[in-house]
Amino acid sequence: MEDPSRLLAAAHGAGVSHPGGIPPPPSAGDPAAAAPPPPPPHRLQPGPPPPGHQDTGDILQQIMAITDQSLDEAQARKHALNCHRMKPALFSVLCEIKEKTVLSIRGIQEEDPPDAQLMRLDNMLLAEGVSGPEKRGRGGPTTVAATSGGCPNDNSIEHSDYRAKLSQIRQIYHSELEKYEQACSEFTTHVMNLLREQSRTRPISPKEIERMVNIIHGKFSTIQMQLKQSTCEAVMILRSRFLDARRKRRNFSKQATEVLNEYFYSHLSNPYPSEEAKEELAKKGGITVSQVSNWFGNKRIRYKKNMGKFQEEANIYAAKTAVDATNVVAQGNQANSPSTPNSGSSGSFKMTNSGDSFINLQSLTSYQSSPVGANVQSQMDSLHHVIHQTGRYDTIVGNPLYTTQRIDANGSWQDATTPSSITSPAGDPGSVNSDASN
DNA sequence: CTTTATGATTCACA
DNA sequence: TGTGAATCATAAAG
């Protein structure tokens, strides 16, 4: 901002010799200066100024006096200046001087690197849907499939509360932003008007105006950045409050649990779905891949810890799988497709803590599996039955013998030791149903 | 309210 | 990097 006193000085002509912008005492020829300024009410330095500081004291006095002048008086002075006969000449001198000094001004600008922080904030706000277009509404199946990243926030579909709050933030952000922009443009026009006004008494290049506008915009963008920053903070807090899955745990849909369990129990020998299998399961269940991974992680450990507890469940899914498998077998018979494997043999995955009887059972199953056969099945059934009755199958048995049989009957057990499951999630009979559904 | 079930996170490990 | 194990935090059941 220009110092008003400088203008005054410039207009007086003598001011040219005072680069400091301090106006000299009014000349006698100046009609506007005819009336001596009223004495300042408050002297900063009472008493006579020390020698050598005489000028400064005077000047100071005048500056102080300006504040006491009425607006009308000032206007009158200004008008007088504009009408002064020497004005055009002085003005041109001023222009000349300005021309010379403008070079030194030029270097000052040129510091406008795209602010990294601002960009970060912008990106985040955009990602959160605060800035930019209205956030994509609820995710259809496409969204679910697309966002299988691992970010647990996909569940936001259910968090209508979260969305409401977010849109509130969004609203506030936009209204504030608008306010700032309005204020900025108002202020800019105000300053431009001022400069235009001033350009009558001093030369102002367009570059200078531009620079001024840039400065103003810079100042306002600093404020905007603060706004963005606090908006980001608000969103972060909101997120942590609403989307922290530990706080808001939602059970999976029945469909999801179904799909996962089917896979798990039909691949009990190796319940480690490949990445593709996980994706497939995620798609079928309408959850994310990382949720699938979590689920399998939890399932494995919990199943292992307490197989007895899962017995019933295992049987249910085993039966289910068996039906499917039977259907498949009935149609295509064994052997044909290498991708219709099978699945699981009984809980063979590193079940070190299981009882001996289980192990025996296990080995029995596996050894006899390849030959196939209904007799094996019945053997197993009875064995299972016995164990079931005798006793406390908690740590002893676990698991879907039925499945084992069926699947072994498919003859892919050997492969199954190493994940047959991994090879073909899609073609797997264990998940046949879901294939049909999709 | 307490207990159980369950999804997610964290950390160590191979 | 994926996994097992422990743990947390919440939903659901009793």
Mean pLDDT across the stretch A123-143?
A: 58
Nucleotides of B under 7 A from a protein CB: 5-10
Q: How far is the CA of A252 from the C1' of B3 (A)?
A: 21
CA distance A281 to A258: 10
User: Which nt sits closest to A243, CA to C1'?
Assistant: B8
pTM: 0.41
Mean pLDDT across the stretch A80-84?
A: 79
Quick check: A388 CB within 7 A of strand C?
no
CA distance A56 to A399: 100
Which of A75-79, A349-353, A394-398, A433-437 tops mean pLDDT?
A75-79
Chain A 284-313, CB < 7 Å to strand C:
293, 296-298, 300-301, 304
Q: Where are the beta strands (DSSP E) in A187-237?
A: none
In this prediction, what percent of chain A has a pLDDT beyond 90? 5
Q: How far is the CA of A310 from the C1' of B3 (A)?
A: 18
Question: Do residues A434 and A366 make contact, with C-beta atoms less than 8 angstroms apart?
Answer: no
pLDDT, position A114: 63
| Chain mean position to CA A388 | 53
Please state the length of chain A: 438
Q: How far is the CA of A357 from the C1' of C12 (A)?
A: 35
Question: Do residues A408 and A365 make contact, with C-beta atoms less than 8 angstroms apart?
Answer: yes
Question: Do residues A340 and A332 make contact, with C-beta atoms less than 8 angstroms apart?
Answer: yes
pLDDT, position A310: 87
Angle among Cα A15, A18, A20 to the nearest 5 degrees reads 120
Q: Is A6 left (phi over 0), alpha (psi -120 to 50) or beta?
A: alpha
Q: How far is the CA of A278 from the C1' of C1 (A)?
A: 16
Nucleotides of C under 7 A from a protein CB: 2-12
- Residue with minimal CA–C1' distance to B8 is A246
pLDDT digits (tens, 9 = 90+) for A281-290: 998 888 888 8
